[in-house]
Amino acid sequence: MLLELQGVSLRFGAVVAADAIDLSVAAGEAVGIIGANGAGKSSLFNLIAGVLRPDSGAIRLKGRDVTKVPARLRCAAGIGRSFQIPRPFAGLTTFENLLAAASSARGERGVTAMCGAILERTGLIAKANVPAGRLTLLERKRLELARALATRPEILLLDEIAGGLTEAECRVLIDLIKSLAAERITILWVEHIVHALMSVASRLIVLEFGRKIADGEPRAVMDDPNVRRSYLGIG
């Protein structure tokens, strides 16, 4: 397995953010994660990325225990991440943002050509010399994905990357993510726009109050009575 979580738990006082979560993601999988607000989705990503450390349990990347490894070293080891709210360096150009991500994660060798190729792929090449603070929301979302790709990840964590986009903009982004999945790039995607997940993910995980309540084929998961009650409010 590329990524494994075993019995991972985390509390913030009385709030349970992760409740003995077991999770395995194989190389090349595209896995979607859904859950109501407060279900623990962001906490799970922060645990995987190394922003948070669990109270108990273990996190392994390619069989190596990374439970206590800090975020910057997990990024260098192959965990790339986009954020729900884009956080570019507003005063740097789009291209400079990619260079910063690439060099900080894996060193500077060959990053210029790689970053150029990523800008082409994500539709940002025409904005290469534009300050990131002047990009539209769709362009900033693309830049979030581009910066994550620039770290040369083995697993890509996408945090509500389609949120806030129009339907047309969402379709453009979905097509890009589909192309990454088709190349067997491992994807773990948290999203409230379920149809976006369903078009990419081969597996769906549902969280409720820090617990994993479903894990399986997307349509079967969405038909699960527990999921319909918890996520859709249908009893």
- Mark whether 192 and 118 lie in a shared domain: no
Q: Are residues 49 and 124 in the same domain?
A: no
Q: Are 147 and 160 in a shared domain? A: no
* pLDDT above 90 as % of the chain: 81
Can you read off the two tokens belonging to residue 160? 């509500």
Q: Same structural domain for residues 185 and 90?
A: no
Q: Where are the alpha helices (DSSP H) in the chain?
A: 41-49, 71-77, 94-106, 111-121, 137-150, 167-182, 194-198, 218-222, 225-230
Question: What is residue 235's predicted lDDT score, i.e. its pLDDT?
Answer: 54
Taking a C-beta distance cutoff of 8 angstroms, is the pair 28, 184 a contact? yes
Pair 73, 48 in one domain: yes
Is the same domain home to 210 and 160?
yes
pTM equals: 0.92
Task: Establish if 140 belongs to a structural domain.
Answer: yes
Angle between helix axes 111-121 and 137-150 (nearest 10 degrees) is 140
- What phi and psi values does residue 116 have, to the nearest 5 degrees? -60, -40
159 and 55, same structural domain? yes
- Total number of domains constituting the chain: 2
In this structure, how many other beta carbons lie within 10 angstroms of the beta carbon of residue 18?
26
Distance CA 214, CA 35 (A): 10
Claim to verify: residue 225 and residue 159 sit in the same structural domain:
yes
Residues 10 and 68 in one domain: yes
Domain of residue 122: give its range: 86-152
CA distances to 12, 50, 160, 219 from 43, rounded to whole Å, are 10, 10, 13, 25
Residue 171 domain flag: no
Would residue 169 count as lying in a domain? no
Secondary structure class of 228 (helix, strand, coil): helix
pLDDT in the model for residue 59: 98
* 172 inside domain: no
pLDDT digits (tens, 9 = 90+) for 136-190: 998 999 999 999 999 999 999 999 999 888 899 899 889 999 999 999 899 999 9
Closest Cα to residue 157, out of 3, 10, 21?
Answer: 3
